Every structure is written in structure tokens, then in C-alpha cells.
């Protein structure tokens, strides 16, 4: 981002441009998005857009950051509202929540999933991993007697990446014979089983 928004008017301009980017992605797909189209949807000149963002890539990155924050906030609210100590239930509902995002009618998250390999998503994944780890630490500290887990940071790194990969692969294969519910159930069993496994991170024998 070129110009850091300090005043309310500038902050509003940034929000408007990010929202316009989301609408363009939904309407044209990532391939069809251009800065002139974003500026037109935002109701500003291309010159005004370039005062805040260098190019289309910078706008896409800002959109991904915003959607990641929103996703984490909503996921956190979901988990808190569940108010459950049942690990399988929490994992199942979290994965179901992820699929529900991809199925939203505007198709924004689905378009992101379809182009996952071409997007600057590392920061997005890092943010999700950090949230998962922070939540996991609090959860497993609270229920340590029930779930005495070691190497939590390694487990969550593997869980987040493998879960996202599986979900995006399924979403990118619309003709798949595997049903979405089967993916949800399978991922739930995999995640819970791995979290409950006793110290799976052991050195390989020489």
C-alpha cells in the first residue's frame, strides 16, 4: 500500500477500493480484474486509486488480508458460541464453517479457492496458523488432563495446511465422486485423531 490511511476520509477510500476489488473478483473473476475496472466500481479515478495502491496485486493482497481477518473473527465467534469441550464437535463445526464460506452466493471465497496456487496466500495461511495455535494453546491448557498434547505448533502447521489443501482440491474438482460431507467427516476424523495421537513427532531410526 502506497499511502497509509491516517484520516477518516483516507481510511474510507481504502475500504471503498478493497470492497470494489471484491465486487470485481466476483463479477469478472481474478483473471478479468483490472485497476480501471476497480476504480470504475469504486467511483474514483485510476489516479486516485494509485495514490493508495501500486497495482492490482496490492489490492488483491489487501482484500485477502481483510477477508482473513473477517474469517478468523467469525470462526472465533462460532467456537465461543459452541461453548463445548468436545474436540470432535469443535473441529467438525469449524470445517463446516470453512465450506460454508466457499458456498456463499457471491462466490468470492470460491474464486479465491479456485486460484489458490496463483495468489499471495502465505500471509493468509500464517495468520490462520497463528490463530489456530493461539486458540489451541488456550483450549488444550484448559483441558490438559483430557488432551495432554505435545508439539502443538507442529501439529497445527500440518493440520491447517493439509485441511486447506484438501478443501481447495475438492472445490476445484466439481465432478468429484466424493461428497462434501464425506470430506468434512474425513477431515474431522483426521484432525481429531492426529491431535489425540500420543507424541507423533518422533525421530526416525537411523
DSSP symbols for the chain: --S---SHHHHHHHHHHHHHHHHHHHHHHHHH--HHHHHHHHTS-HHHHHTT-SSHHHHHHHHHHHHHHHHHHHHHHHHHHH----HHHHHHHHHHHHHHHHT-TT-HHHHHHHTGGGS--HHHHHHHHHHHHHHHHHHHHHTTTT-----HHHHHHHHHHHHHHHHHHHHT-TT-SS-HHHHHHHHHHHHHHHHHSS----PPP-
Q: Which three cell numbers stand for residue 138?
A: 488456550
Compute the average pLDDT of residues 101-122.
83
Predicted confidence band of residue 183 (pLDDT cuts 50, 70, 90): very high
Between residues 123 and 167, the one the model is more confident about: 167
Single pTM value for the model:
0.80
Q: What is the pLDDT of residue 141?
A: 67
Quick one: which of 139, 7, 167, 26 has its CA closest to 79? 139
Which percentage of the chain shows pLDDT scores above 90? 41
When mean pLDDT is compared over 91-95, 100-104, 134-138, 155-159, the highest value belongs to 91-95
Residue pair 59/38 in contact by the 8 Å Cβ criterion: yes
Question: How would you class 139 by CB atoms within 10 Å of its CB: exposed for 0-12, middle for 13-18, buried for 19 or more?
Answer: middle
Cα separation, 62 vs 69, in Å, equals 11
Predicted confidence band of residue 22 (pLDDT cuts 50, 70, 90): very high
Q: What is the pLDDT of residue 99?
A: 92
Q: Per-residue pLDDT for 144 more than 70?
A: no
Residue pair 191/159 in contact by the 8 Å Cβ criterion: yes
Residue that has been written with the C-alpha cell 493440520 in this structure: 159
> Maximum Cα–Cα distance for the chain, whole Å?
64
Amino acid at each position: 500500500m502506497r499511502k497509509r490511511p491516517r484520516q477518516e476520509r483516507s481510511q474510507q477510500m481504502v475500504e471503498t477500493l478493497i470492497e470494489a476489488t471484491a465486487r470485481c473478483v466476483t463479477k469478472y473473476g481474478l483473471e478479468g480484474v483490472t485497476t480501471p475496472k476497480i476504480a470504475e466500481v469504486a467511483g474514483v479515478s485510476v489516479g486516485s486509486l494509485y495514490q493508495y495502491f501500486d497495482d492490482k496485486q496490492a489490492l488483491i493482497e489487501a482484500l485477502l488480508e481483510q477477508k482473513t481477518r473477517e474469517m478468523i473473527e467469525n470462526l472465533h465467534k462460532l467456537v465461543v458460541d459452541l461453548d463445548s469441550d468436545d474436540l470432535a464437535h469443535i473441529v467438525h463445526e469449524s470445517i463446516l464453517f470453512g465450506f460454508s464460506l466457499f458456498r456463499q452466493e457471491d462466490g468470492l471465497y470460491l474464486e479465491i479457492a479456485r486460484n489458490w496456487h496463483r495468489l499471495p496466500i502465505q500471509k493468509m495461511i500464517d495468520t490462520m496458523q497463528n490463530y489456530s495455535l493461539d486458540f489451541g494453546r488456550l483450549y488444550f491448557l484448559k483441558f490438559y488432563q483430557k488432551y495432554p498434547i505435545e508439539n502443538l505448533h507442529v501439529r497445527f502447521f500440518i493440520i491447517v495446511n493439509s485441511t486447506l489443501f484438501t478443501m481447495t482440491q475438492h472445490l476445484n474438482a466439481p465432478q468429484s465422486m466424493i461428497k462434501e460431507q464425506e470430506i468434512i467427516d474425513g477431515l474431522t476424523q483426521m484432525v481429531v485423531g492426529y491431535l489425540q495421537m500420543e507424541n507423533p513427532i518422533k525421530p526416525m531410526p537411523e
